[in-house]
Chain A
Amino acid sequence: MKESVVIIGGGIAGLEAASQLLALGLSPVIVEKSDHLGGHVAEWYRLFPDLSPAQDLVTHLVSSTSGARIYLETEISRINALKDGYSATLNNGDVLFCKAVLVCTGFHLFDAAKKEEYGYGIYNSVITNRDLEHWFGGLEDARIPDNPRAVGFVHCVGSRDVKAGNTQCSKVCCMTAIKQAIEMKEKFPEAEVYCFYMDLRLFGKKYEDFYISAQRDYGIHFIRGRVSEVSEDIDGRLLVKAEDTLSGKPLKVRLDLLVLMAGMVCSPQTGRIASMVRAEVDDDGFLRSRDNIYSIVESGRKGIFFAGACTGTKTIPETVAEARAAALSAFRYIKEKA
């Protein structure tokens, strides 16, 4: 019988790891709590920097894991350490025996309502990056006006924010904001589009070009300064107050739509899983890797591996690369034991 690996979470990390483990001749089992595979990426419409459809990636990953056992709408209720592996009890009663566990629980999108001063859930035309992706994907959204004259994007909502309890950078929001700003500009060429940022972190391949194009080709306004508060005027338009820290002046802008770039925070399930496999949780709430340079996918506990955003904020390419690394590490671990 093939050696089995339980993968917790069926996002892109779990899917990619499963496909690699299949190729390596192991038998992965994916346990996914929601009703679909692909995680957050499956909810996204297009991906930066090439504006490629997110669905293509998810479809490819799902098709390459057709040989794996997959549980949907299932959660792990208990994990026990055995002599040479683990047994995972599912909430449907099934018990899975495996040689290794791969934690791919990912992240949770920051609840933008917690930054009450931005008015999410209070004002009609304040939405999040995810709401906007849903709308791009064809879902109706009454909050998005038919013909907005001005649209704003607030970077770092719940990221790099001690007040919100998250000090980490979410890495992807700068680029997502630029991408969504461009997409909005494509949809509404007459609208003025503003991005309010602290500083732009454009570290990846083609990111900087993307940003320059947003300014040069699309005329998107980038304003350096955090938004302090949002209010609604009598006509129901949003009044955004910020400080333009480049000119050193306070600034007020009237907008018809405000998009909050909600950041990545650790998923609430992560802590539960961590205590089951007795992995450590770091002070940022994400899982603690054995070290942060060479062994990010290893937990420090035998047979427990990590991949993707459960150990910190990650881009898609990083997540996919980590999933492969984790699959290989798990494979080597099992072979060396045998």
Chain B
Amino acid sequence: MRERIPSGFDPFVLPFLIGIGFVLLYCLLAAMRVLWQCPREDRRRFFLSLITPTTALRNLWDIFANCLIHVKLWKRNKLLGFMHSSIAFGWFMIILLGHLEVFLFVPHRLNLFYYPIFFNYFVAETDTSLRGAFLFFLMDFFLLLILIGIALAIIKRVRSRLFGMRRTTRLSFLDTVGLYSLWLIFPLRLLAESFTASISGGSFLVKPLNWLLEAVLGSQFLLNPANNLPTWWAYSIVLGIFMVVLPFTRYMHIPTEMMLIPMRNAGLRIRHARRGYALLEVYSCPGCGVCIDACPMSVKKANIKDCTVYLNRQIRRGNERRIEEISDKCLLCGKCTEVCQVGVEGPALRIFQRARRQYAVNPDYAAVNVAPPESAGKVLYFGGCMTALTPSIGRSMESVLGKLGIDYTWMDRDGGICCGRPMLQAGRFPQAAEMVRKNTELIKASGADTLLLSCPICYKMFRDHYKLPGIRVVHHTQYFEELRRSGVLKLSKSDLCYAYHDPCELGRGCGVYEEPRTLLGSAAYIVEAEKNRGESICCGGSLGSLSLGFQQREAMTRRALENLTVAGPDAIATACPLCRSTFARYSSIPVRDIAEVVDLSL
């Protein structure tokens, strides 16, 4: 290869240079801002993790798997995965191979930013450049891959169902500009390269197109700079436009995710709704809209704009009224996080947003006085408010524990203090902390070594937000399953066929999926819901929402019931008193807690 343009410069590279200069400066400043907003200890943790070899390796692997290959999208839908990875990985490879070409053929130009991008304009093929043929082939191969990806993206805009998505996001104006410029970049590159392919060479894609153009327009036409330069200008301008609008579009997720992954791997978490790490999550949202179909609220069209993808958009826009509305409405079921390919924690963002609110009255629970549990039983059972409202579950718990002869104390049989989770979810951290403190005192004073919960909302709270050294916190499904395995609990299998509903707090919240199923499976037959485990649909009764009324929740509950009963079960089993009473309101078949099922089979 030899250089065709001795100066190594042509004005057409300017739009690209302006674009890349702008986007790099913007990202640098944004990254510094995020780092500055993080608490000092988080910053320290982050820098330490970067020089820890294992974390550094994991970062590289995660960035490769998530940003380039989009592993999570592949798992969701093959076509969707292929579309994204072909564009992302293809583009990455083209940039990489461009640099390799510069390195191999014109190493002294490596200092020029634009050279690898416009390599084919600046060089001409010589007889000795045959060794570049393989690189040319690869370049064309990846360009073709990207073009296929773009074609799929265009199809997806029209027929999103082919990609496993019922609904996609409605784009903002700048997003549309970004989208169209992204779609244009690669066809224009193909055009520009094929105009000059008789000079700079090419492979199976560029060359034939060059011959075709020659046949139609004549080779003199192609070689005239007045004709081929505009194609390179167009390519550069579109690249420039894309990069200039990038920070203000959903495509900001591309650079942001590369910072989010190492920070998450360093163990950083959201500590403020709008600062530091939270900003990274917001800007990492690619606006794909997978969370729209996942959101239980989206059964009603009016709620679609309250999904996490729109929360992120409104936070970026600073639309306070909408941010509050969206944050208050959410059920905090966590399904958007479960399906999100970049792992935006919609519920956490909302909780911290709620925490910013100033309340005129802050309840004080200092006067609440509850006697500590009397006997120093080995097992302390905490039913919680929801079990108090579903007395048959509490009865079954008593009955099962009694039949097994387990020495236990029902801590809040005669009333107790809330575990604090509703206050935590409402973002009222000091109030929640007060309850945590009181309950911790009571539990520690009891001398118990096991804390048994029948409500997964309490279970999540005690597991994650209490410090109870030496005390095992266990949900009743886990506890009974353990007893069954050790032979203490002997169940007789009934003929009934149950559909098991994974409560949000137990499944996605605590990762308990297996124990309820094996336990239930030994007491009855199980069929699965259409969407189960991590993708189970919230019953609609969640305490998480601050503004949804009962009438608005009805459609969600009915949708969840429909999902549960696809296989035609005789009854529904769940492991949460709240899910149970919510479903029971509209279900045509019986709804039971696993404790009740166990009691029936004992």
A interface, CB within 8 angstroms of B: 114, 116-117, 119, 122-123, 162-165, 229-233, 239, 241, 252
Contacts and interface: CB of A to CB of B under 8 A. Distances in A.
Contacts of A165: 550, 554, 585
B389 A122 contact: no
A229 B389 contact: yes
Given A122-B395, A165-B550, A117 B585 contact: no
Contacts of B391: 116-117, 119, 122-123, 229-232
Contact of B392 (A116, A162, A239): A116
Contacts of A252: 415
Residue among B391, B414, B585 with max Cβ neighbours from chain A (10 Å): B391
Contacts of B389: 116-117, 229
Contacts of B550: 162-163, 165
B584 A122 contact: no
Interface of B: 388-392, 394-395, 413-415, 549-551, 554, 581, 584-585
Nearest to B385: A229
A116 B413 contact: no
Contacts of A229: 388-389, 391
Contacts of B395: 122
A162 B584 contact: no
B458 to A, nearest CB: 16
A115 to B, nearest CB: 9
A116 B389 CA distance: 7
Contacts of B549: 162
Nearest to A123: B391
B153 to A, nearest CB: 44
A68 B554 CA distance: 44
Given A162-B551, A229-B389, A231-B388, A114 B413 contact: no
Nearest to B541: A163
A114 B390 contact: no
Contacts of B415: 241, 252
B314 to A, nearest CB: 29
B584 A239 contact: no
Given A114-B584, A117-B388, 12 more contacts: A114-B585, A116-B389, A116-B392, A116-B581, A116-B584, A122-B391, A162-B549, A162-B550, A165-B554, A165-B585, A232-B391, A252-B415
A152 to B, nearest CB: 16
B76 to A, nearest CB: 36
Contacts of B414: 231, 233, 239
A232 B410 CA distance: 13
Q: What does DSSP make chain A's interface, helix, strand, loop or mixed?
A: mixed
A241 B395 CA distance: 18
B391 to A, nearest CB: 5
A233 B414 CA distance: 8
B327 to A, nearest CB: 23
7 contacts: A116-B392, A117-B391, A162-B551, A164-B585, A231-B413, A232-B391, A239-B414
A165 B552 CA distance: 11
A193 to B, nearest CB: 23
Nearest to A250: B415
B388 A116 contact: no
Contacts of B413: 231
Contacts of A230: 391
A241 B389 CA distance: 11
Nearest to B386: A117
Contacts of A162: 549-551
A230 B394 CA distance: 12
A124 to B, nearest CB: 12
Nearest to B368: A250
B512 to A, nearest CB: 24
Contacts of B390: 116-117
Nearest to A121: B392
Contacts of B394: 231
A114 B550 CA distance: 15
A241 B415 CA distance: 9
Nearest to A119: B391
A275 to B, nearest CB: 19
Nearest to A161: B550
A252 B370 CA distance: 14
Contacts of A231: 388, 391, 394, 413-414
A196 to B, nearest CB: 16
A114 B580 CA distance: 12
A231 B394 CA distance: 10
A119 B414 CA distance: 15
Contacts of A117: 388-391
A116 B390 CA distance: 6
A228 B434 CA distance: 23
Nearest to B554: A165
Contacts of B581: 116
A72 to B, nearest CB: 29
Contacts of A232: 391
A252 B554 CA distance: 33
A123 B388 CA distance: 13
Contacts of A116: 389-392, 581, 584
B596 to A, nearest CB: 11
A162 B550 CA distance: 6
B188 to A, nearest CB: 57
Contacts of A114: 584-585
A114 B392 CA distance: 12
Contacts of B388: 117, 229, 231
Contacts of A241: 415
Contacts of B551: 162
Nearest to B415: A241
A122 B413 CA distance: 16
A162 B585 CA distance: 12
A114 B584 CA distance: 8
A117 B390 CA distance: 5
A300 to B, nearest CB: 25
